[in-house]
Amino acid sequence: MTYGEFQNQIEEISNTELAEKAQSILSKLCSTGGQSFTMTVPPRIDDTDIILSEVIKRLSYLDIKKEKEISDNKNIFNSFKRTHPILLKCILSAMKEVEETKQPETTANEIVENWKKALLNTVGIVKSRYDSEVFTPPFRLGASQKRAILDSKGKEVIIMPINSDKQAQMYCDYLNVSAMGE
């Protein structure tokens, strides 16, 4: 059996099975005063050193994975804190208010709804992608340079800078998606 095949066999052992094997090995080690320790050449899948080293490897991996998750969560939170400070303050205030309330769940839901309304008034949510009183969908690109965005009547919405025809097409698509949804 090659080293790679042996490693694959070890990796196929489930965590539960590995824990049971390790517990059994430790039990035997204790009852025999360490006499049951096995370490063979070539190695066997149930050798003491193989089982215990695999347990250590998996525990190390879990620890590294947990530290990475904590680090990633901190990075996400800090990024969100930089980009959406008003939203974060509203969320934290709402959570605090919900925690402090001694009233039924309906009151907590009312608190959250009130904070949502306050947030919408504070943040300036885009309600429409274009002025529907001025422009008529569908939108299209101008024929010559593909930089002008026009409405269905040929009225100019915007002209994009030179060499930005791809951006103009993306903006045109953005406007048309909005027009379909309204």
What pLDDT digit, counting tens, does each position of 112-160 carry? 677 667 666 655 556 677 888 899 889 999 988 888 999 999 999 999 8
Same-domain pairing of 149 and 167: yes
What pLDDT digit, counting tens, does each position of 28-77 carry? 989 998 899 999 999 999 999 999 999 988 888 887 877 887 777 777 77
- Widest distance between CA atoms in the chain: 92
Please give the residue range of the domain that contains residue 146.
140-181
- Distance (Å, whole) CA 138 – CA 146: 16
CA distances from 182 to 44, 116, 124, 179 (A): 68, 23, 19, 5
DSSP 160: P
Same-domain pairing of 89 and 28: no
Same-domain pairing of 114 and 88: yes
pTM for this one?
A: 0.41
The count of domains in the chain is 3
Report whether 27 contacts 48 (CB < 8 A): no
Same-domain pairing of 59 and 102: no
